[in-house]
Chain A
Amino acid sequence: MRLPRLLNRWLLFTAAVFLIALLMENEYYLTLLNFIGIHTLLVVGLNLLMGYAGQISLGHAAFFGLGAYTSGILTVTYGLNPWLAMLAGMIISGVAAFLIGIPALKLRGYYLAMATLGFGVIVYIVFTEAQAWTGGPSGLAGIPALHLAGLSFDTPWKLYLLIWMVVILILILSASIVDSRIGRALRALHDSEAAAESLGVNTQRLKLLIFVWSALYASLAGSLFAHTMNFIAPSSFDIMFSIKLVTMVVVGGMASVWGSLLGAGVLTILPEVLVFFHDFEVVIFGGILMVVMIFLPRGLVRGLLDLKEFRRYKRQGGAFPV
């Protein structure tokens, strides 16, 4: 019973994605949807780390940037095949995440947050300063479009198909990870690290695995970003972007694959729709983070659903199952 229902959900989602592709002609909206797709890839990975492993990365923009710059430099300067460059970016990001994650293997609490933050700052500085490779603050231009079997992904419409196919695959992959043995171990780890360990889960290795995994998603998103924009500059990969990604996770809801899509969607569209948003952007993101985490620690959507459940139970006079 469970499997067909799950399948239906994915089929519906895929159908919706293609329906939009058929109906949508406005290039501006398609570009916006492409950004939502790229942000979704980042947020799903970060959500696996935050919502399931209970760890936080304040430097996810660095892995996004490593993917983008590896793709950019290898294709522009060295003329490498974009798909190979994408793979190279993922290898570099994965290794970097592994090395940064080792302190988290040994330590608890705030250290991964701090190590990733420091790493994010260093990577951003390197993007800005290593002008010979990255073009410095003025950026790297002329990144070619992706090709596949004679088809060039050079219009918003074709990119939409490519990006959202990747998004669908990654969402399915992530949902099945969550439902797998690893996912159950992660949930155990999130509820009680000691209990999970006593059941034979190597919690530290699991945390590292998920951290590296989320960095791979970020790198993939970065490569797609580079080939979508055809131009990258360091300002897309600063600490504020890492914090925006955390906000997207928090709005969509911790430990929710679909919530990631929602969080990425809402916070990518809002700045475009609200004209006053630009001046208040920093204040709004900071305010959302504080208020949601203080009052609804499971995230905005999940928290509101919990509240609704709570009301329903209260109306029926029963106790709320905690």
Chain B
Amino acid sequence: MEILAPLLQYLISGLTNGAIYALIALGFGIIYNATTIINFAQGEMVMLGALCAISIYHVNPSLPLAFAGGVAMVTVIGLVFERLALRPVRDPSPISLIIITVGGAVFIKGIAMLLWGKDPYSLPPFTSNVPIGLGPATILPQNLWVLGVGALLVLFLEAFLRLTLVGKAMRACAYNPRAARLVGISTGRMVQLSFGLSAALGAAGGILIAPLTLGVYDMGTMLGLKGFSAAILGGLGSILGGVLGGLLLGVAESLASGLISSGYRDAVAFLILLVALFIRPQGLLGGKQ
């Protein structure tokens, strides 16, 4: 029993972080499917989501408004980023695109530092802050919010891609852009949509986690990298893979930081990434290359 309680506690915090990684991983996957670009600025959308929502909350203390406003603002930023930084690209080789999106990430982070400063900001939890007993461990209501809203967003995304016409068009683009163009789908529009959608998912993740971790200008880099690790681990471009990768990564690093050393927590995530790249680069649920 003594060993079980902390293990359960690590599992809860791991799943919570993992849900955020999963949302970021899905953002990477959506853009990758539409464009085969890895958008290194994805993590900064998470940071912008958290900080925008916090700023809105300071003006008008309503959490639903802060959530909706934060997501909306970051969606616009994602669309503008695609329009200004990626559409004019003259040489769309992987190396140029990596440098551009890395530059974008650094640029956005720098702007956020100038706007919000280096201090962390807090966002109140969505509902009460009283821990709920769960067997030998406890769970915060905000953990439940993260897991619940995260699951809901994944379901919405799946439904959007499977059931709506626009969603089907996006999937068509992912399978074969040229064939999609032939049947009258505007691939440019789909690329734009993919950037907006993944920015929105990232922002939602940032706002969900802000009450637990605070919002600060440099939170995005690490979250983005871990989201990418989750995407690779699960299989880049697969929704179920992204979710699975995110949750596995979250639980693994939470267990490692609890059982081994908290200082090496971030190292564990990247060790998993490197091992995944070595052994199964197509990811757990990815097809054969």
Contact = CB atoms under 8 A, between A and B. Distances in A.
Given A103-B281, A294-B90, A250 B274 contact: no
B225 A117 contact: yes
A289 B225 contact: no
Main secondary structure of the interface of A (DSSP, over half): helix
Interface string A5-29: 0000000000000000000000000
Main secondary structure of the interface of B (DSSP, over half): helix
B281 A282 contact: no
A118 B270 contact: yes
B8 to A, nearest CB: 27
Q: Categorize the interface residue count of chain A.
A: 35 or more
Interface string A221-236: 0000000000000000
Interface string A41-53: 0000000001000
A110 B94 contact: yes
Contacts of A177: none
B266 interface: yes
Contacts of B110: 280-286
Contact of B281 (A54, A56, A107): A107
Interface residues of B, number: 43
A284 B266 CA distance: 28
A282 B100 contact: no
B103 A103 contact: no
A251 to B, nearest CB: 12
A106 B281 CA distance: 9
Interface string A208-221: 00000000000000
Given A50-B95, A54-B93, A118 B103 contact: no
B102 A118 contact: no
Nearest to B217: A282
A297 B91 contact: yes
Given A114-B38, A125-B263, A246-B102, A293 B109 contact: no
A310 to B, nearest CB: 13
A283 B114 contact: yes
B139 to A, nearest CB: 29
Contacts of A166: none
A121 B109 CA distance: 18
Interface string A281-322: 111111111100111010000000000000000000000000
Q: From B36, B95, B107, name the one whose CB has the most chain A CB atoms within 10 angstroms.
A: B95
B274 A119 contact: yes
21 contacts: A103-B277, A107-B277, A107-B281, A109-B36, A109-B94, A111-B281, A113-B98, A114-B228, A114-B273, A114-B277, A118-B270, A125-B264, A128-B263, A243-B102, A250-B99, A280-B110, A283-B107, A285-B106, A290-B85, A294-B85, A297-B93
Given A50-B95, A125-B264, 9 more contacts: A56-B95, A108-B94, A111-B277, A118-B229, A129-B267, A239-B221, A247-B103, A290-B100, A295-B90
Interface of B: 36, 38, 85, 88-91, 93-96, 98-100, 102-111, 113-114, 221, 225, 228-229, 232, 261, 263-264, 266-267, 270-271, 273-274, 277-278, 281
Q: Which 10 residue pairs of A and B lie closest in terms of their CB atoms, listed nearest first?
A: A289-B103, A286-B107, A286-B106, A283-B110, A282-B110, A297-B91, A118-B270, A290-B103, A129-B263, A103-B277
